[in-house]
Structure 1
Amino acid sequence: MNRWYWVLHGMEPLFPPVDWQIQWDTLQLTPFQEIIRAFRGPWVMFLMVANIGIFCPIGFFPALLWRGWRWWKSALVGLCTSVFIEFVQFFIGRSSDVDDVILNTAGTLVGFWIFWLINALLPQLTIKFQCTTKELPGYG
Structure 2
Amino acid sequence: MRRAVLLLATLAYLAGVAWMTLRPTVYGDGTSELLWRVLDLAARHEETDWITFARVEAAANVAMFVPMGMFPALLLPKWAWWVGVVVGLVATVAIESYQATVLSATRFADPQDLVMNTLGAAIGAAFVGLVLPRSRRSRRRGRSPRQSPAW
Identify the TM-score tier after normalising by the shorter chain: 0.5 to 0.7
Amino acid in structure 2 at the alignment position of 1:77: V
Which residue of structure 2 aligns with residue 85 of structure 1? 95
Question: Counterpart of 1:100 in 2: which secondary structure?
Answer: helix
Find the aligned partners of 1:70 and 1:99 in 2 and give their Cα distance. 24
Which residue of structure 1 aligns with residue 81 of structure 2? 70
Provide, for residues 88-119 of structure 1, a one-character-per-residue CA deviation record: whole Å limited to 9, x for no partner. Answer: 11221301111101111111100012212122
Could you list the runs of 4 or more consecutive aligned residues of structure 1 that deviate by over 2 angstroms after TM superposition?
A: 122-125
Shift of 1:128: 4.4
Find the aligned partners of 1:41 and 1:61 in 2 and give their Cα distance. 30
* Paired residues for 1:93-104 under 5 Å: 93-104=106-117
Larger CA Rg, structure 1 vs 2: 1
Which residue of structure 2 aligns with residue 24 of structure 1? none
TM-score (norm 2): 0.52
* Paired residues for 1:106-125 under 5 Å: 106-115=119-128, 116-123=130-137
Runs of 5+ consecutive residues of structure 2 not aligned to the other structure: 1-22, 26-49, 141-148
Q: Percent identity?
A: 27
The RMSD of aligned alpha carbons is 2.7
Aligned length: 92
Greater helix share, structure number: 2
Provide, for residues 62-93 of structure 1, a one-character-per-residue CA deviation record: whole Å limited to 9, x for no partner. Answer: 1112112132x222211110011011112213
TM-score (norm 1): 0.56
Find the aligned partners of 1:89 and 1:112 in 2 and give their Cα distance. 25
Runs of 5+ consecutive residues of structure 1 not aligned to the other structure: 1-13, 17-39, 130-140
- Mark the CA change 1:122 to 1:42 in structure 2 (over 3 Å): closer, same or farther: farther
Which residue of structure 2 aligns with residue 50 of structure 1? 60
CA contact (8 A) 2:24 2:107 kept: no
Which residue of structure 1 aligns with residue 39 of structure 2? none
Provide, for residues 22-55 of structure 1, a one-character-per-residue CA deviation record: whole Å limited to 9, x for no partner. Answer: xxxxxxxxxxxxxxxxxx6522111111111111
